Amino acid sequence: MTDQINLRVVDGAPFYAHEVTVNFTPAQFSMDFKCITPRSDPRSKKPSFQMVHNLVMLDPWHAKAFLEILDKVVKRYEEDFGKIKKPKAIEKAEKKQKKKVADTKAETPSYLG
């Protein structure tokens, strides 16, 4: 007789991440994927943003395995569709930000946090 196992799968909502922050401790890697979107509020003249984030935690061995898998998948993607390049709009925005920073002598933030 075979034992039966009941398994319930709960799908999470699809999530688009604009940036990710990665940190680690001796026991785990934490990847905080973020989606930041501007909002408009007619009552306020100040800019408003909404940030949604999903935290993924992996032990070090799984983090390294994830890195290897992601590397393989990106290479396959580039074989099928060509080299992944930074969008021209982002290059233009980064140049504009570097000029602005050079004028104010502040530190330049990177696009992915």
The mean pLDDT value of the chain amounts to 88
pLDDT at 16 over 80: yes
Cα–Cα dist 92/37, whole Å: 20
Cα–Cα dist 4/42, whole Å: 57
> How is 33-87 classified by DSSP, letter by letter?
EEEEEEE--TT-SS-EEEEEEEEEEE-HHHHHHHHHHHHHHHHHHHHHH------
At residue 110, φ and ψ (nearest 5 deg) are -90, 160
Highest mean pLDDT among 40-44, 75-79, 102-106: 75-79
